[in-house]
Structure 1
Amino acid sequence: MMKNAVYKAQAGLRAQYVTTPEAAMVTDEARTGGMDPSDPFHSQVEPKYGSGLNVPCGVHRAVGGPYDAPCPGDLLCAALAACQDSSVRMVANLMGIELIALAVQVKATVDVRGALGIDMNVPVGFQSITCNIHLKAKEGTPPEMLEKLRVAAQRCCVVGQTLQHPAPVTTVFSAHPLETVAAESAFV
């Protein structure tokens, strides 16, 4: 275990954010593009725009797609699982808890009748999300420390907190000449 690795990595950042709070504002982004826009069932997304990592995206069979690639719901579950995992790892490191094993599983359930416009009383969106964190700490770790880890990791999970307390989402539709859209949507 790299004891205190998180503390060492964050010490300068914490001091900077106290004196310069605006430096703590970060923006994450992702972008789609680079595939045939006439294909209604496939796309790709580049998380961390500019990274060159392209993830194929598909449409779930529950709404008519072939479901041959992760759908946006899978990516949402992946984002929560990744954030919970990293939060548990970092907080455990800060607390001096040695983890032997860690796995995070996220399941989200949606009634797609809302998205398909079949029943206007059914909301569009997931009705439930369950995150199961399975961990094993070094033998002798006090149960009260594991409870503190659970509470602190949930509090620090940015994706989990965003899902619990949604941020406003602004969507802007723009019409551009086809050449502009094609040039802008190609992954570099």
Structure 2
Amino acid sequence: MTPRTLEAQAQLRAEYKANPNLAMVTDHASTRSIDPADPFHSLVIPKAGADAAIPVGVHSAVGGPYDAPCPGDLLCAALAACQDSSIRMVAAGLGIELTALEVHVQGKVDVRGALGVQKDVPVGFQSIISDVHLQAKPGTSPEMLAKLQTAADRCCVVMQTLQTPPQVRTAYHM
């Protein structure tokens, strides 16, 4: 992070302390059908008004062709991206120079629940494992790396959301 970015974050922290309402943001995503008759493919648009649309498919484990990322892949991607950016921002704030960073996320799900095959199998991931491979500039103390890990985990919005999920409400408009 550049000194200008650190300065901008310091200014935001001060503003949010003075006016907490300014810290409330709303993220967006929506879907759009490629072909409404195709049950296996759609597009997800991660931000309102964004030009980027991500093709989404259905996993072969539930009958789809799995020729595009499925929603579970996108959930894993969201966690990987959030952890990556949290680690990078915290490292910069602590003055830790990273020389390499990769985050690999794997989610395991027993699809018998989603397919209604076995009622006692929950619908959803049974486990999510995140492997973070990072290297810092030689000479970085183990204490600073431990501080980085603790702070990055605390700051990762997606990880914290998965660990303490909010209530999700769905409104159908037919």
Normalised by the shorter chain, which TM-score bucket?
A: over 0.9
1:114 counterpart residue number = 113
Encode CA deviations 1:34-86: one digit per residue, 9 max, x unaligned. Answer: 41111000000000121111000000000000000000000000000000000
Runs of 5+ unmatched residues, structure 2: none
What amino acid does structure 1 have at the position aligned with 2:67?
D
CA RMSD of aligned residues (A): 1.0
1:155 counterpart residue number = 154
Identity %: 64
1:14-53 to structure 2, matched below 5 A, reads 14-53=13-52
What amino acid does structure 2 have at the position aligned with 1:134?
H
1:49-60 to structure 2, matched below 5 A, reads 49-60=48-59
1:139 paired to 2:138: yes
Could you tell me how far apart the structure 1 residues matched to 2:142 and 2:12 are?
A: 31
Runs of 5+ unmatched residues, structure 1: 176-188
1:96 paired to 2:104: no
Could you tell me how far apart the structure 1 residues matched to 2:43 and 2:126 are?
A: 26
1:172 counterpart residue number = 171
Normalised by the length of structure 2, the TM-score is 0.97
Larger RCO (CA under 8 A, 6+ residues apart) = 1
What amino acid does structure 2 have at the position aligned with 1:55?
I
SS of equivalent residue, structure 1 residue 33: strand
Could you tell me how far apart the structure 2 residues matched to 1:170 and 1:4 are?
A: 41
- Equivalent residues of 2:33, 2:41 under 8 A apart: no
Normalised by the length of structure 1, the TM-score is 0.90
Could you tell me how far apart the structure 1 residues matched to 2:118 and 2:58 are?
A: 20
Could you tell me how far apart the structure 2 residues matched to 1:6 and 1:167 are?
A: 30
What amino acid does structure 2 have at the position aligned with 1:19?
A
Could you tell me how far apart the structure 1 residues matched to 2:105 and 2:5 are?
A: 25
What amino acid does structure 2 have at the position aligned with 1:12?
Q
Farther off after superposition, 157-166 or 14-23: 14-23
